[in-house]
Amino acid sequence: MDKRFHTTKRESFDPKIEVFLCRVLLNTSSYHSIETLTGTNYSKWKQDLAISLGLLDYDYVLKETPLQALATDAYAKIKARYVKWEKANRMTMLIMQRSMTSSVKGSISKTESAKEYYEFIAQRFKVSEKSTKSSLLNKLTDMKYDVGYG
């Protein structure tokens, strides 16, 4: 056996690398856990999405006003903020689209802003959610209580 590849003690890694690897594993598993939006599970999808985007530090793009394209003479700090926002916006769009059925995707208006896209989804399914609740309440009130005495 070649002893160069076997050690008895754990080799120490740079703590920054360990933290980075842990974040990568956490991030990739977080967006895979979003339940696919089918139309009847909007509340669950919204909750899963919020958790996943929060873990990825992308959730701010759904709260902030979309940034405008920068002029070529903008300060480096502003450019860095825009680049960060642009990546988070693009990834959030991809994550949302990946977590929907194709029929749901087709019913949502196209936009470049993740915030606007999220708002379109909310509008579409809040109406649907209200009608579902109303339908269930109507069924419940129409049911008769049957007491069976034996």
- Calculate what percentage of the chain has a pLDDT beyond 70: 67
Per-residue pLDDT tens over the stretch 77-131: 888 888 899 999 999 999 999 999 999 999 999 999 999 999 999 998 876 566 5
- Calculate what percentage of the chain has a pLDDT beyond 90: 35
Q: Domain limits of the chain?
A: 13-113
The predicted structure's pLDDT at residue 37: 92
pTM of structure: 0.65
The predicted structure's pLDDT at residue 119: 94
DSSP characters over the chain? --GGG--SSPPPPPHHHHHHHHHHHHHHHHHHTSPPB-SS-HHHHHHHHHHHHHHTT-GGGGTSPPPPPPPTT--HHHHHHHHHHHHHHHHHHHHHHHTB-HHHHHTS---S-HHHHHHHHHHHHHHHHHHHHHHHHHHHHH--------
